[in-house]
């Protein structure tokens, strides 16, 4: 029975957890996202897996959590914890009771949006299959081409675990995942595809594909004219080239490509100050590589930083946001760099090409071509007027983004396409 006539059900893969006192907690950015959804819908139901303390200890990635009571829209939000079941046995044991929970929530909400992105343990996929069974219209949301990302996940491992991940993910899971996602997307009423990579991979299967963006910075977080002017003035003095990246140190982010490019810049005589903010499975190995190459005076893997002001200042004060992403995804950090007036320089991809437009040829190089990437940065280092001009153009591009704008865009699309199918 419909309980929320203007309510939205979100089934996500981000995790809840509980505090020591038992209070439900959620990721800080998820908290912001729920409040933004609630600005566009009367009621929001959010279903996510809940992470136990034991499960949390298995990951080397730090996530900032806040208590659910910090939600500004808490009086119009229902949080539904689901089992954390990414092992096959756990998943199939919990599948039927969890499907029943999702089935009830699907009946209660008028609007449905599922952030599909996996196979075993992926409750958004289960929710989509249940919506199909109930003959309810639903939307899907993706921010990376998951079956391709999974196919290459083995590269983060070594020895026997590398072979196991190759067989499990590359040979078995990836082809099945591709077909399941194709089916779910083809049955959806609306596809919300974050970035050109996702749109190109999945849009052809969808009745109503739309390119959307995802960002958690507000208009107030845009770089100010004064901050930008100070950066440009510093750059024009010929000061050391400031390079930054913000994200997890994982194989798909290319941390060793990033380090190799910096090593090539050093060999070319480019004086750099480079900082990588973020933890991850490869953080220790990345730090060891920096030491081995004698780059530790100029290159810093600082780990996780929970202070958003510090992270934003690092991006705003940088001359270049250097990225070496190896898989088809749509990382928010590139938009954050543009909003900070910092040129994004790195490997080609439909997502970054769409963000940069005519600047693409000046700032992007073929994937894995570290020589070309180092040469492009060297060119910008030597021509500081060109670098400042590119930065000014990136600042303009970044001004079209804000969290309220992108969440309203998605909300309006959901309402429009559901209205057409009722």
| pLDDT for res 411 | 97
Percent of the chain with pLDDT over 70: 93
Q: Is the pLDDT of residue 42 over 90?
A: yes
Confidence of residue 145 (pLDDT cuts 50, 70, 90): confident
Q: How buried is residue 333: exposed, middle or buried, by Cβ count under 10 Å (0-12/13-18/19+)?
A: buried
Q: Is the pLDDT of residue 176 over 70?
A: yes
| pLDDT for res 319 | 98
Taking residues 276-284, report their average pLDDT.
94
Q: For residues 392 and 174, what is the distance between their CA atoms, to the nearest angstrom?
A: 41
Taking residues 166-176, report their average pLDDT.
73
Q: For residues 337 and 316, what is the distance between their CA atoms, to the nearest angstrom?
A: 7
Which class in CATH covers the domain with range 4-217+403-420? alpha beta
**Domain range annotation of the chain:** 4-217+403-420, 219-398
Structure tokens at 197: 């990579």
> Of 275, 277, 323, which is closest to residue 298 (Cα–Cα)?
275
Q: For residues 148 and 150, what is the distance between their CA atoms, to the nearest angstrom?
A: 5
The upper half-sphere exposure of residue 378, i.e. CA atoms within 13 Å in the direction of its Cβ, equals 16
Which class in CATH covers the domain with range 219-398? alpha beta
| pLDDT for res 420 | 56
Q: Is the pLDDT of residue 143 over 80?
A: yes
Phi, psi of 249, deg, nearest 5: -85, 80
Bridge-partner residues for 16, per DSSP? 50
| pLDDT for res 219 | 92
Give the SS3 label for residue 24: strand
Taking residues 114-133, report their average pLDDT.
95
Q: Is the pLDDT of residue 3 over 60?
A: yes
| pLDDT for res 59 | 54
Taking residues 63-71, report their average pLDDT.
92
Confidence of residue 148 (pLDDT cuts 50, 70, 90): confident
Phi, psi of 75, deg, nearest 5: -75, -10
Least confident of 88-97, 167-176, 331-340, 411-420: 167-176
* The two domains 4-217+403-420 and 219-398 share their CATH topology (first three levels equal): yes
| pLDDT for res 384 | 96
Kindly report the average pLDDT of the chain as a whole number. Answer: 92
Confidence of residue 203 (pLDDT cuts 50, 70, 90): very high
Q: Is the pLDDT of residue 65 over 60?
A: yes
Taking residues 214-235, report their average pLDDT.
94
Alpha carbon distances (Å) from 313 to 8, 303, 310, 393:
35, 16, 5, 19
């Amino acid at each position: 029975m419909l309980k929320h006539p203007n309510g939205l059900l979100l089934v996500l893969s981000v995790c809840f957890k509980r505090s020591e006192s038992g209070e439900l907690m959620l990721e800080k950015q998820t908290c912001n996202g729920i409040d933004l959804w609630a600005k566009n819908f009367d009621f929001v139901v959010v279903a996510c897996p809940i992470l136990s303390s034991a499960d949390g200890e298995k990951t080397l990635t730090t996530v900032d959590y806040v208590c659910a009571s910090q939600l500004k829209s808490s009086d119009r939000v229902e949080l539904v914890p689901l089992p954390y079941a990414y092992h096959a046995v756990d998943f199939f044991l919990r599948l039927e009771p969890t499907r029943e929970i999702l089935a009830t929530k699907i009946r209660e909400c008028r609007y449905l949006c599922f952030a599909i992105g996996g196979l075993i343990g992926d409750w958004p996929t289960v929710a989509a299959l249940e919506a199909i069974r109930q003959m309810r219209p639903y939307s899907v949301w993706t921010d990376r081409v998951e079956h391709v990302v999974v196919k290459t996940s083995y590269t983060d491992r070594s020895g026997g675990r590398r072979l196991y991940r190759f067989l499990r993910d590359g040979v078995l899971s990836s082809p099945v995942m591709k077909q399941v996602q194709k089916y779910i997307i083809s049955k959806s009423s609306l596809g919300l595809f974050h970035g050109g990579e996702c749109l190109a991979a999945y849009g052809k299967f969808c009745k109503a594909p739309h390119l959307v963006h995802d960002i958690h910075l507000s208009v107030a977080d845009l770089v100010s004219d004064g901050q930008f002017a100070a950066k440009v003035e510093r750059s024009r003095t010929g000061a050391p080239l400031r390079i930054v990246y913000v994200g997890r140190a994982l194989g798909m982010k290319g941390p060793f490509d990033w380090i190799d490019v910096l090593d090539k810049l050093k060999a070319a005589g480019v004086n750099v100050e480079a900082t990588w903010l973020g933890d991850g499975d490869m953080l220790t190995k990345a730090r060891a590589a920096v030491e081995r190459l004698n780059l530790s005076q100029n290159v810093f893997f600082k780990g996780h930083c929970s202070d958003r002001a510090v992270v934003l200042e690092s991006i705003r004060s940088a001359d270049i946001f250097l990225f070496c992403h190896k898989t088809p995804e749509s990382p928010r950090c590139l938009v954050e760099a543009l909003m900070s007036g910092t040129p994004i320089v790195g490997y080609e991809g439909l997502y970054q090409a769409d963000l940069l437009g005519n600047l693409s040829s000046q700032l992007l190089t073929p994937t894995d071509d570290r020589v070309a990437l180092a040469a492009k940065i060297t060119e910008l280092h030597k021509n500081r007027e060109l670098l400042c001009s590119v930065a000014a153009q990136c600042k303009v591009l970044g001004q079209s983004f804000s969290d309220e704008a992108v969440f309203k865009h998605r909300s309006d699309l959901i309402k429009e396409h559901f209205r057409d199918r009722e």
